Structure 1
Amino acid sequence: MSLLVSSIDVPAPRRRRSKRTRRAALATTLVLICALLAACDGHGVISIDDGIPGAQADGNSSNSALDRTGERIAFESSATNLVANDTNSASDIFVTDRTTGETERVSVASDGQQANGPSELPDISANGRIVAFESTATNLVPNDTNGVRDVFVRDLDTGTTVRASVADGGGQGTGDSEGAAISANGRYVAFYSNASNLVANDTNHAADIFVRDLVNGTTERVSVANDESQADSTSVTPTISDDGQVVAFTSSASNLVPGDVNLSTDVFVRDIAAGTTISVTSVPLGQYSATADPNISGNGRYVAFVSDGDNIVPNDTNNSSDVFVFDRDTGTTTRVSVASDGTEGNAGGFDAHLSSNGRYVSFSSWSDNLAPNDANGPYGADVFVRDNVTGQTSRVSESSSGMSGNADSHESDISRDGHVVAFSSDATNLVSGDENGFADIYYKLLP
């Protein structure tokens, strides 16, 4: 699902990524921009060929997700040459270990059988062992007969695949489930679903946010008010803290918190242990301000989100969507899609992701004034990283010589330790030898 900066409307419950969007026809080879790595060549750039040796990926790839240190990268691809015997003619989920260079297909059944339908939108645990994803395949687990999209979890160590979008007793959902986000230890999986039978008394006829405890085998609805009232409208795009106890999500519901009268989408945070739900935005009565696409820091303190409102922070005059970070401890909101000197972007920002401690945030923007030498204009999206401690904003999606990409870069993710950023790009000039005619996935090592 896509949630681009030009529209903050809640997307129809079908495609999402908070954890990570904008996947229009992206094909991938994994490329390392290791500008700060001594092992790199003189220009600091190494290309990693992720298909059959000597061949670049022959199909669309997108939506990368990083483990704690960025050593393992999960992504989706319709390429057929990333692993042997990929003959299902559908997109699959893969994990590449950038240290060993090995790539493994994740979207398979426990017996190794390949999926008979497309699999998309992965998320990965901190240690890179557990991968959650969504799929329409019916053969990844036994007795999958509901005919809808489900959320699955693959344990790379044990080679087992289980379905997460089920009720407490294991009953399969009656509606599509998607947008999986996994806790650091791989125990909890958040997702949104149109199913009405995952918990009791689900009668709102709208997509809700759920959290599955894979250890205890329980499923809980978290898109509820403090008094456990169910949302009166759609909730999507969940993101989960490292411990699995705090979930942020987008909702158009008006009854999750008192006084929600802005008639637009909002970002909410549910503290499962405390049983509380809050909104991360508060604007004057009668004013409009749509917010969406959250990403929560691993420690659960910070929530990054996108808003097209000019009333979130003072002096917002760019008439564009921006990226903000909300501090749950202090109740303050900061705009982060700005230059190092505080200059606001001259075009929209979107797709934000936080490091575990909330210090670093990666995001995409069409602005050409956030970093020096941005020569692709206000219509070419770039990926940036903002250091919330030093206030420095730097561009990530550039060649080793500092050249701007000649096409859009987006769909960023940042490792939990804040030292690796991955992103997708249609550019052909970020590394030499990019000749597959598709967009690629890149990653860059940060100090």
Structure 2
Amino acid sequence: MRAALGATVVVCAVTAVLPGAASAEPRTVPGAASVSGAGVERISVATDGTQGDGDSAGATITANGRRIAFASSAKNLAPATPVTGQRVFVRDQRTSQTTLMSTLTPPIQPPVISGDGQYVALWGLLQRDTKTFLSRVSSASTIGINCSGLSCSQPSLSTDGRYIAQVATFSRPPSRQRIEVQDWQANHTQTVTEFGHTVSARPSISGDGRFVAYQDGQAEDVFVWDQTDDTSAGPIEGPSKAATLVQISKDGSKIVYLSGSDTYVQDESSGTDQLVPNARGVAIDPTGRYLLYAPLDTNGPSLMLRDLETGTDEIVSDQPASAGTDAVSAGGRDVVFHSTADDIVPGDTNGKSDVFVRHLY
């Protein structure tokens, strides 16, 4: 596999930064407190502020923090639409508007919003196969995004939403999958790589569409593809470790991956890794400076934000909480997450999982 890709092994110097080894006073908005509730908003609410009557999760945020996409089974967020099950919504922080994005199919995984907030991608079941759908936020109109396989899945969006990296799966013999990048506006598809198996492939695309980090789940390796010369390099973790991809930062400067019980953040200009031990990396902000991670020590906070330049940490949630990729706005200002805790904000009485945003400054 590695020979077929013409991959090169990157020898990395690793610097370790211990979780909790350094801490900083939280960056706060004037008049807002820290973890007790101020500085945190509930996002999974109707336009009039009514809390959702169903579970909400899987939030992603735009680079400027204005728009947040999430999935929810709450019927009262769009009561005029008689659709049951999970649906995708966008909350506009500037206008306080909650908009239903698609009624075509329940999402299989959380939605993905483009960095500029213009498009939302999701993938769901269409008859027997899965397909990728793209919704324009301004009109809530939805189109299907094709791929070369019977099933399309795992979409990752460029900043302007024009380029979509996704997995195309061929389920009929021989079963295999292909990672592709589609310029849907030009109706052009480019193959990143093809695997002779259907185990855990997943891509993450940079903001300009040039780089795609991806994992080969069978080999347990992570690679990075460069569109300019159509070549892949890796495994980026070297030959001695098994790795799982988290994501590439939108500026293409950092790739986050997991290996064992540790998280590594690779600097693509130098090839060196920064180690965050005993932690599960969750997301990285578009600039590549701020890492959202979940400490494996369950006695402390559930989500922390690491400034990779200073090594300082800030608490995102000290209640049980979860988050996914693209959960941090640029500069680490805002972090979205979901939790079933009922004391993160006042008036949480629905007994459901809700989506929240923490403003760190």
> Which TM bucket (shorter chain)?
0.7 to 0.9
The 8 Å contact of residues 293 and 305 in structure 1, kept in 2 or not, is answered as yes
1:231 aligns with 2:195: yes
Q: Which residue, 247, 268, 271 being the options, matches 2:212? A: 247
1:422 aligns with 2:336: yes
Aligned equivalent of 1:431:
345
CA–CA distance in structure 2, aligned partners of residues 328 and 35 of structure 1: 28
The 8 Å contact of residues 217 and 244 in structure 2, kept in 1 or not, is answered as no
CA–CA distance in structure 1, aligned partners of residues 174 and 248 of structure 2: 26
Q: Name the Cα RMSD after superposition.
A: 2.6
| Structure 2 counterpart of 1:210, one-letter code | E
Q: Which residue, 100, 120, 127 being the options, matches 1:131? A: 120
CA–CA distance in structure 2, aligned partners of residues 54 and 159 of structure 1: 21
Identity within the alignment, %: 28
The 8 Å contact of residues 355 and 361 in structure 1, kept in 2 or not, is answered as yes
1:107-186 superposed matches below 5 A: 107=102, 114-115=103-104, 117-118=106-107, 120-137=109-126, 147-167=128-148, 173-174=149-150, 176-186=151-161
Aligned equivalent of 1:315:
none
Deviations 1:110-132 (A, max 9, x none): xxxx3255564211112211111
Deviations 1:365-412 (A, max 9, x none): 2325xxxxxxxx16xx61111111111122211xxxxxx31x344436
The 8 Å contact of residues 151 and 178 in structure 1, kept in 2 or not, is answered as yes
Give how far 1:94 is off: 0.6
Aligned equivalent of 2:280:
350
Give how far 1:68 is off: 1.1
Aligned equivalent of 1:411:
324
The 8 Å contact of residues 66 and 124 in structure 1, kept in 2 or not, is answered as yes
Q: TM-score scaled by structure 2?
A: 0.83
Q: Which residue, 382, 389, 408 being the options, matches 2:309? A: 389
Higher relative contact order (CA 8 A, sep 6+): 2
1:281 aligns with 2:237: yes
| Structure 2 counterpart of 1:355, one-letter code | D
The 8 Å contact of residues 122 and 134 in structure 2, kept in 1 or not, is answered as yes
How many pairs does the alignment contain?
A: 330
1:363 aligns with 2:290: no
Q: 1:392 to 1:129 in 2, by over 3 A?
A: same
Give how far 1:281 is off: 0.7
Aligned equivalent of 1:200:
none
SS at match of 2:209: coil
CA–CA distance in structure 2, aligned partners of residues 35 and 182 of structure 1: 29
Q: 1:56 to 1:323 in 2, by over 3 A?
A: same
Unaligned runs of 5+ in 1: 1-33, 108-113, 138-145, 168-172, 198-202, 224-229, 254-263, 309-320, 337-343, 369-376, 398-403
Deviations 1:406-426 (A, max 9, x none): x34443611134321111223
